[in-house]
């Protein structure tokens, strides 16, 4: 008997870091809607009463940063002076400049004349990108991060629909699952941190968050010994940017696999798809998910390494942890046969030059069911099976 625990956390869209991600992706979407060929690397900093949007944008269009930021803040729910951060009266400052001409020339050579488009679009930066998939849940994600996101989505939903009207936008979840021989069997602990109005009674808050948030999401994993914690530090009245600074890119583990698998360190939000931090990571997930969906491995981690300005990856590595139907080296050959991992090809295959990114700024980029999440498709399953060496089998 081999028993272990795995833990993941999530945060609501009102968490200051996630609000920063949302503003950055809202700016990206606004630019891509008018200029799909724009190069965008936009980051946001938040604190009490202040929104600072900076970065590099090269585009033929104009977008109203002030208007975009205020709309995103309003949509999340910071619309009352009592929250100490209000979309109407916060200061919005822009420090946007153009992308370095050296980087622009290295990344996009399509204007150089008779050149293959996929060779002309180089990686927007160097780095290593990871994708992961497993049979931990129906969406081929680790179950703890799937449940953690479901908890924060529910926490936001009961605030917005008035079920728990005293809730405020900031919040977090965390769940620890026990596994027995690789199979999840119970929740050891479930934690919710919920920002709230000052006049709500603590007992009521605890009871109603458990009944309206925790149990509807995780009832099947709860037993008599599961520890259910609501605001374990006490009151949580002051939250959001009024209590903590927010910055784009500080929740990269929440954005991906909840601590399961590896991470190259690059954030997604605010970056157009020539930045392989985003497109390469999406493609690595797409490859990993299709390998697991095709029955070629029970779990797999895909690593892709890029050099700035160069189209072809420097290296592709797979690790199935011994669960593959053939060797990891053979699976890598299958992947390189089926998938074109150059940034231009990724952009076309996953249809990434569209204003689709703001909804993915919260609750994770992977395991999503929206049709815009093209990296979650499993449309490469048959191609992978056909490319499998004759010695391979389906699991």
Q: Is residue 335 part of a domain?
A: yes
> Which of 240, 265, 293 corresponds to the end of one domain?
240
Q: Tell me the pLDDT tens digit for each residue of 60-84.
A: 999 999 999 999 999 999 999 999 9
Q: Is residue 119 part of a domain?
A: no
Contacts for 26 with CB less than 8 Å, ≥ 6 apart: 68, 69, 71, 72, 358, 361
pLDDT at 112 over 60: no
Same domain, 256 and 379: yes
Average pLDDT for the chain: 94
Q: Is residue 25 part of a domain?
A: yes
Q: Tell me the pLDDT tens digit for each residue of 330-364.
A: 999 999 999 999 999 999 999 999 999 999 999 99
Q: Is residue 395 part of a domain?
A: no
Same domain, 206 and 289: no
CA dist list (Å): 201 to 227, 260, 394: 21, 37, 55
Confidence of residue 113 (pLDDT cuts 50, 70, 90): low
At residue 3, the pLDDT reads: 79
pLDDT at 107 over 70: no
Q: Tell the burial category of 133 from Cβ atoms under 10 Å away from its Cβ (0-12, 13-18, 19+).
A: buried
Same domain, 131 and 277: yes
Same domain, 252 and 368: yes
Residue 187 neighbours by CB distance under 10 Å: 24
Same domain, 302 and 271: yes
Same domain, 165 and 253: no
As a dihedral over the C-alpha atoms of residue 379, residue 385, residue 386, residue 388, rounded to 10 degrees, the angle is 140
Structure tokens belonging to residue 191: 């934690």
At residue 344, the pLDDT reads: 96
The whole-angstrom separation of Cα 353 and Cα 355 is 7
Map tokens 């999530």 to a residue. Answer: 10
> Which of 240, 272, 304 corresponds to the end of one domain?
240
Q: Tell me the pLDDT tens digit for each residue of 116-175.
A: 888 988 998 899 999 999 998 999 999 999 999 999 999 999 999 999 999 999 999 999
Among residues 169, 149, 214, the alpha carbon closest in space to that of 363 is found at: 149
Same domain, 274 and 367: yes
CA dist list (Å): 170 to 11, 238, 240, 251, 302: 8, 9, 5, 14, 33
| DSSP helix, strand, coil percent of the chain (3-state; round to 5) | 35, 25, 40
CA dist list (Å): 173 to 12, 119, 181, 209: 8, 43, 26, 12
pLDDT at 102 over 60: no
Sheet order of strands, 50-58 included: 91-97, 50-58, 39-47, 246-247
Same domain, 340 and 275: yes
Same domain, 207 and 263: no
At residue 181, the pLDDT reads: 87
State the average pLDDT over residues 188-205. Answer: 97
Rounded to two decimals, the pTM is: 0.94
Q: Which domain holds residue 214?
A: 3-11+143-240
> Which of 240, 266, 287 corresponds to the end of one domain?
240
Q: Is residue 318 part of a domain?
A: yes
Map tokens 């709230």 to a residue. Answer: 196
Same domain, 207 and 261: no
At residue 109, the pLDDT reads: 56
pLDDT at 192 over 80: yes
Q: Is residue 194 part of a domain?
A: yes
Q: Is residue 122 part of a domain?
A: no
**Cα–Cα–Cα angle for 182, 378, 307, rounded to 5 degrees:** 90
- The CATH code of the domain that includes 289 is 3.30.300.10
Q: Is residue 392 part of a domain?
A: no
Helical spans, DSSP H, in the chain: 16-34, 65-76, 101-107, 117-120, 143-160, 202-209, 215-218, 252-255, 276-293, 328-338, 343-349, 381-387
pLDDT at 231 over 60: yes
Same domain, 231 and 279: no
**Cα–Cα–Cα angle for 386, 391, 393, rounded to 5 degrees:** 65
Q: Are the C-beta atoms of residues 19 and 246 closer than 8 Å to each other?
A: yes
Question: Residue 48: helix, strand or coil by DSSP?
Answer: coil
Total domains in the chain come to 3
The whole-angstrom separation of Cα 61 and Cα 52 is 21
pLDDT at 38 over 70: yes
Same domain, 281 and 375: yes
Plot region of 301 (φ>0 → left; ψ -120 to 50 → alpha; else → beta): beta
At residue 2, the pLDDT reads: 65
């Amino acid at each position: 008997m081999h028993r272990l625990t795995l833990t993941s956390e999530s945060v609501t869209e009102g968490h200051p870091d996630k609000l920063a991600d949302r503003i950055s992706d809202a700016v990206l979407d606004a630019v891509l809607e008018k200029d799909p060929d724009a190069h965008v690397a936009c980051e946001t900093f938040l604190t009490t009463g202040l929104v600072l949007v900076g970065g590099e944008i090269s585009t033929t269009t104009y977008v109203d940063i002030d208007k975009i930021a205020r709309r995103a803040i309003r949509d999340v729910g910071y619309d009352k002076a009592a929250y100490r951060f209000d979309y109407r009266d916060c200061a919005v400052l822009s420090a946007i400049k153009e992308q370095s001409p050296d980087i622009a020339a290295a990344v996009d050579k399509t204007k150089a004349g008779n050149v293959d488009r996929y060779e002309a679009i180089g990686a927007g930066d160097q780095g290593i990108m990871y994708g992961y998939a497993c049979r931990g849940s129906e969406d081929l994600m680790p179950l703890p991060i799937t449940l953690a996101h479901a908890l924060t989505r529910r926490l936001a939903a009961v605030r917005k629909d008035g079920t728990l009207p005293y809730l405020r936008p900031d919040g977090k979840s965390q769940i620890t699952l026990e596994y027995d021989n690789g199979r999840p069997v119970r929740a050891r602990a479930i934690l919710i941190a919920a920002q709230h109005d000052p006049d709500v009674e603590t007992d009521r808050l605890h009871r109603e968050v458990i009944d309206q948030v925790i149990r509807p999401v995780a009832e099947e994993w709860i037993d008599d010994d599961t520890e259910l914690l609501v605001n374990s530090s006490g009151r949580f009245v002051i939250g959001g940017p009024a209590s903590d600074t927010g910055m784009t890119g500080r929740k990269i583990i929440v954005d991906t696999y909840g601590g399961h698998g590896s991470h190259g360190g690059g954030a997604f939000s605010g970056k157009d798809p020539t930045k392989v931090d985003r497109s390469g990571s999406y493609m690595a997930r797409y490859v990993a998910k299709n390998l697991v969906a095709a029955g070629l491995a029970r779990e797999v981690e895909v690593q892709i390494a890029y050099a700035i300005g160069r189209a072809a990856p420097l290296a592709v590595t797979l690790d199935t942890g011994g669960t593959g139907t053939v060797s990891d080296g053979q699976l890598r050959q299958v992947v390189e046969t089926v998938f074109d991992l150059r940034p231009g090809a990724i952009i076309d295959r996953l249809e990434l030059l569209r204003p689709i990114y703001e909804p993915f700024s919260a609750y994770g980029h992977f395991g999503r069911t929206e049709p815009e999440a093209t990296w979650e498709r499993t449309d490469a399953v048959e191609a992978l099976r056909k490319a499998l060496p004759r010695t391979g089998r389906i699991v």
